[in-house]
């Protein structure tokens, strides 16, 4: 199979990557490296391993049946769709606000427009909504392939350059400890969106449904698409952690709380490795990556809410994807008006809430994994089933622990 042929078959997996390689990577992974050096590499690996079987069921189920995971939830009972819908409605505005504020910070850093940050965030949300409403899936699919390749290449080059050209001049002063409550909160926030929120298998399945309308996809190609996106995001997460660990951790420098301050520091990580000549390239790659995350999240929330109402038996205006894209944009704008000056707090809230909801999403997906709808030859083997159980126990215990700390 040629490289061009492989790239042409990619679609939902790259949309997944675009949604994942955003806040969890540019913000949280880089912060992990800046704060703790390479200590939390194992956390990134753990999160990816534990979530893998729950994510895989999205493209697998949809390619086999032609239906989204929401259809599988409906077969579990109306309660399952209702639970998913309620969790989505309570988290989607905060999540959308979190990814948008990072995009706005990068936009402001690059263009320096004489308008305030909240106005720039509104511009990005409006542009994203229009692209989804007018362009539909085809434009989104084409746009993402270019963006992901650009960021991947520049990030990997930056990490290699930082290893070979940067010599730390100071000794790191902080290490991770489970005895430190602040460290535990960051640990939970990091896992919450590493590599992405736990509801993303539903997003993936809906993108696969859209892809199936344009062309036929074999099980082999669908899982190849998924694995490329999944493994690629895991590698990039470690790459972003490495940039923070090599360049910032030895100096004790911390990321700014504001979106603009963070954006400036993020781009500096690249230019410190590659040189000032790379500023425009890196800034463009970082911004387009976050813009793609903003667009894919907005597209996903529009799809999953409208489809949830359909599965729940509501066939009126609430089934309109356009309506929910607009409502998500409005809700995110309201939240941004309160958190525009503290990006880190908004991000930590969004990622922590996602972590607390993870056991419920994982349980719903596990019920699909073991259902009779999955043909015998495509069912998970014992190691993956065991991994599912380990993941369920892990997410449940840590979610309850986090809630107890907050109470």
Of the pLDDT bands very low, low, confident and very high (cuts 50, 70, 90), residue 275 is: confident
**Burial (Cβ within 10 Å: 0-12, 13-18, ≥19) of residue 161:** middle
More confident residue, 223 or 160: 223
What pLDDT is stored for residue 105 in this prediction?
87
More confident residue, 182 or 364: 364
Q: How many residues does the chain have?
A: 407
CB atoms within 10 A of CB 191: 26
What ranges do the domains of the chain cover?
Answer: 11-406
More confident residue, 289 or 205: 205
Q: Model pTM?
A: 0.86
Least reliable range by pLDDT among 69-78, 352-361, 378-387: 352-361
Of the pLDDT bands very low, low, confident and very high (cuts 50, 70, 90), residue 164 is: confident
Whole-number Å distance between alpha carbons of 3 and 376: 32
What pLDDT is stored for residue 384 in this prediction?
95
Question: Domain 11-406 is in which class?
Answer: mainly alpha
Is residue 6 predicted with pLDDT exceeding 60? no
In this structure, are residues 193 and 351 in contact, taking their beta carbons and an 8 Å threshold? yes
Average pLDDT over residues 125-145: 74
Is residue 370 predicted with pLDDT exceeding 80? yes
Provide the mean pLDDT of the chain: 84
In this structure, are residues 355 and 192 in contact, taking their beta carbons and an 8 Å threshold? yes
Most confident of 14-18, 49-53, 232-236, 273-277: 49-53
In this structure, are residues 355 and 95 in contact, taking their beta carbons and an 8 Å threshold? no
Whole-number Å distance between alpha carbons of 222 and 12: 8
SS (H, E, C) the chain: CCHHHHHHHCCHHHHHHHHHCCHHHHHHHHHHHHHHCCCCHHHHHHHHHHHHHHHHHHHHHHHHHCCCHHHHHHHHCHHHHHHHHHHHHHHHHHHHHHHHHHHHHHHHHHHCCCCCHHHHHHHHHHHHHHHHHHHHHHHHHHHHHHHHHHHHHHHHHHHHHHHHHCCCCCCCCCCCCCCCHHHHHHHHHHHHCCCCCCCHHHHHHHHHHHHHHHCCCCHHHHHHHHHHHHHHHHHHHHHHHHHHHHHHHHHCCCCCCCHHHHHHHHHHHHHHHHCHHHHHHHHHHHHHHHHHHHHHHHHHHHHHHHHHHHHCCCCCHHHCHHHHHHHHHHHHHHHHHHHCCCHHHHHHHHHHHHHHHHHHHHHHHHHHHCCCCCCHHHCCCHHHHHHHHHHHHHHHHHHHHHHHHHC
Whole-number Å distance between alpha carbons of 387 and 267: 37
Whole-number Å distance between alpha carbons of 300 and 287: 20
Average pLDDT over residues 90-101: 88
- Tokens linked to 338: 């309160």
1-7, Cβ contacts within 8 angstroms, sequence gap of 24 or more? 6/224, 7/145
What pLDDT is stored for residue 263 in this prediction?
82
- Tokens linked to 199: 């509801």
Average pLDDT over residues 130-137: 75
Of the pLDDT bands very low, low, confident and very high (cuts 50, 70, 90), residue 365 is: very high
Is residue 2 predicted with pLDDT exceeding 80? no
What pLDDT is stored for residue 47 in this prediction?
95
CB atoms within 10 A of CB 140: 21
Is residue 172 predicted with pLDDT exceeding 60? no
What pLDDT is stored for residue 173 in this prediction?
58
- Tokens linked to 310: 């359909």
What pLDDT is stored for residue 314 in this prediction?
63
Share of the chain above pLDDT 70, in %: 90
More confident residue, 383 or 255: 383
Of the pLDDT bands very low, low, confident and very high (cuts 50, 70, 90), residue 3 is: very low
More confident residue, 18 or 122: 122
In whole angstroms, what separates CA 43 from the centre of its chain? 16
Q: How do residues 287-330 score in pLDDT, each as one tens digit?
A: 877 888 898 889 889 989 988 888 776 666 677 888 899 999 99
């Amino acid at each position: 199979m040629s490289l061009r042929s492989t790239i042409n078959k990619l679609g939902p997996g790259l949309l997944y990557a675009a949604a994942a390689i955003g806040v969890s990577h540019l913000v949280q992974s880089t912060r992990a490296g800046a704060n703790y050096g390479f200590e939390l590499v194992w956390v990134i690996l753990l999160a990816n391993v534990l979530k893998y079987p729950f994510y895989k069921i999205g493209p697998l189920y949809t390619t086999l049946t032609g239906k989204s995971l929401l259809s599988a939830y409906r077969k579990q009972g109306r309660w399952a769709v209702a639970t998913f819908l309620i969790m989505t409605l309570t988290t989607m505005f905060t999540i959308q606000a979190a990814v948008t504020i990072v995009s706005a910070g990068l936009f402001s850093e690059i263009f320096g427009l004489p308008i305030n940050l909240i106005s720039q965030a509104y511009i990005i949300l409006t542009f994203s909504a229009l692209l989804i409403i007018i362009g539909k899936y085809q434009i989104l699919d084409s746009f993402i392939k270019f963006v992901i390749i650009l960021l991947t290449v520049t990030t990997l080059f930056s990490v290699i350059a930082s290893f070979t050209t940067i010599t730390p001049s100071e000794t790191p002063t902080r290490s991770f400890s489970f005895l430190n409550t602040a460290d535990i909160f960051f640990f939970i926030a990091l896992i919450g969106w590493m590599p992405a929120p736990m509801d993303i298998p539903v997003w993936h399945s809906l993108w696969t449904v859209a892809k199936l309308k344009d062309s036929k996809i074999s099980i082999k190609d669908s899982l190849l698409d998924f694995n490329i996106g999944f493994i690629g995001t895991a590698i990039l997460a470690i790459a972003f952690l490495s940039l923070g660990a090599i360049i910032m951790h030895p100096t004790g420098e911390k990321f700014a709380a504001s979106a603009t301050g963070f954006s400036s520091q993020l781009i500096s990580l690249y230019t410190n490795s590659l040189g000032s000549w790379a500023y425009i390239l890196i800034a463009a790659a970082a911004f387009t990556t976050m813009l793609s995350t903003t667009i894919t999240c907005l597209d996903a929330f529009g799809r999953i809410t409208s489809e949830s109402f359909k599965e729940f038996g509501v066939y009126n205006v609430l089934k309109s994807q356009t309506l929910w894209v607009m409502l998500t944009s409005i809700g995110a704008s309201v939240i941004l008006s309160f958190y525009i000056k503290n990006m880190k707090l908004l991000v930590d809230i969004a990622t922590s809430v996602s972590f607390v909801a993870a056991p419920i999403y994982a349980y719903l997906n596990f019920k699909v994994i073991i259902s009779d709808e999955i043909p015998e030859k495509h069912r998970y083997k014992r190691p993956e089933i065991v991994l599912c159980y380990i993941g369920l126990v892990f997410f449940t215990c840590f979610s309850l622990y986090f809630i107890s700390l907050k109470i």
